[in-house]
Amino acid sequence: MSDLEESFLTKLENEMATLLSEQEIFARLSVILEDALRIAPSKVTPEAKVFNDLGAESLDLLDIRFRVDEAFGFRTKEDELIRSLGAGLSAQDIQEKLTVRSLVLYIKNCLKGKSEVS
């Protein structure tokens, strides 16, 4: 594949990523969460708290981040993810605020930022 073709495909992939709706992101993320946490699809709702409702532990979050990186084509950063939940949060606050919906919004913002850089 030539550099021009590769550049075109990368740009097209980035543009398509911005077209993902919250519902499409939620659908992909649901599969990631179901696999990583070995939970039933019915447990994954937008309001579900990743730690308290879905049973994730801190190591699970690393696995989830890796899977999100692979599925959406960008690198998640823990500090950015935590900042997206609010400033000055304790570990308990993070466990309360990290919902499936907050992850969807974080991914959507990352995809938007990825597209703007391209």
We report the CATH number of the domain holding residue 75 as 1.10.1200.10
Number of domains in the chain: 1
In this structure, are residues 29 and 68 in contact, taking their beta carbons and an 8 Å threshold?
A: yes
Half-sphere exposure of 33 (CA within 13 A, CB side): 27
- Tell me the mean pLDDT per 10 residues along the chain, length 118: 72 63 94 98 97 95 95 90 92 94 94 62
Structural domain including 72 reads 3-117
